[in-house]
Structure 1
């Protein structure tokens, strides 16, 4: 490859300033097939990218090979630390993990023990995903992680069991089917902020457009975490709101009444199909490289803004950027 054709590995392949570009990007790195890649394949991809940065890639290496290596790398390594993420916490595992848990919550919503077990399993999964995809520059103690996990699980169980009890005699079976979604939404509003509480308390690192660190902002942390909460709820919404309506009708059909064992696998596969599209779609709603106007910082965090002025010699950029996490 000639120098003029060198790929900028610090930038995504597709334009992240618009939704379609972000959608193309996240379709690539949330592809569930990537979660079964071996450590050897992932390490080889990382090694190829490192060699490419130094201009030492093997002769004959194509652009597509570099792009594929970058896709593999981004699906498995944390953007802040470069550390390999645990498999279950990767966004590429969101489809297989989410389809099993969501399908089970929607199928076994009538039994109290089943509600308790599957809500606990789902929040355990969510806690791991939230921790894996946090902004890694903010450290979290084991005690803080435990509080976040217990609080989110408790919120999910209280919401699910409370609604289940209140709707058991009054509401239609269709309304009862929406209980799992209400529990998941409530838990997300607690789990994610608590898992990332250090960012809210101490601020998140913000940088200029060249990646130079300028300071720590609590306002940036609040914005990033809010966007992640919204994304996660929207990610789960279609499968947990459309599928109950579909199942309410299908379960009246003679063929499903004759074969009730098909209920669970059908809902699980349907959830998987929806998550295949909704995972990248929800991740694409907001730019991963989130931005914040420094005029907002001067208004709500004047001390942070003043520190930036000192660091920048009075020439503070109009916008700062930070990794909002996933």
Structure 2
């Protein structure tokens, strides 16, 4: 077991009332940190008070964007345990993003140990209300003080924790989504399948314009033919067409979401027909016209399952399932959150206990 140094904060912070948590606004008392250099590799794992830390103005992450991150969640179960949902899987995806950005891979076991230890120290920050969670944000940044395009030699990894409520203000109500036909997010051979800040920066312009038009998110199409569905700004996307569960295949420009993977595994275990394939926006609108488009929903760590009630594309709007949450989306949401909060048996081995309260 790796030795993790711990320096605790003097005094403790106070978590806001759970009904006022919002998302990503509040942070716990401590964070986990590691450093990387070519001589020592990843080293000096430690837990320190949550605070500012210094980087040079010339730090390469600030100039050339070499950075990756993850989003994981911990939950307080019905019997007062703190559990993390699929931490190993998320950290293995962290390494896949590292490969794409030429960042040294982490030892998943060491980082998982640090992640659990900082949660255990800050366990009082894990909210208890259903719909709340402790959001876990691992991040790696390039720290070489060098203004020139190259792969950095030094890095800093840190994990911060944030007690959160629902990601969308509408909660589990269906959201309206604009199919983006002007901007593109990612291309084949690019960074689309990596969880890196650049991908989210690319989405901002379209997102701002969509929100001005009254939409919650945008649905991206492929960057070449501009007709195949890829993903939503913060979620993967699923369609239930004539009983079949369809989601775009991972072709290299789509993030392989952990909730996406969870939904696929659940649907297959329930004996449903599941397809990962290219699907065009024309096919989706045609299925709606034929009365076969039964449900549309997004999946992501932050929102879990997000039903889609309306799709708008080039001035045409379709309403899905009378703008109501579908039966399948509801079953998925109830099952996934039930496993996370300990009210549904975890037959897949997805949750790992951190501590008891």
> Is the pair's TM-score, using the shorter chain for normalization, greater than 0.5?
no
More helix by share: 1
More strand by share: 2
TM range (shorter): under 0.3
What is the TM-score when the length of structure 2 is the normalising length? Answer: 0.26
What is the TM-score when the length of structure 1 is the normalising length? Answer: 0.27
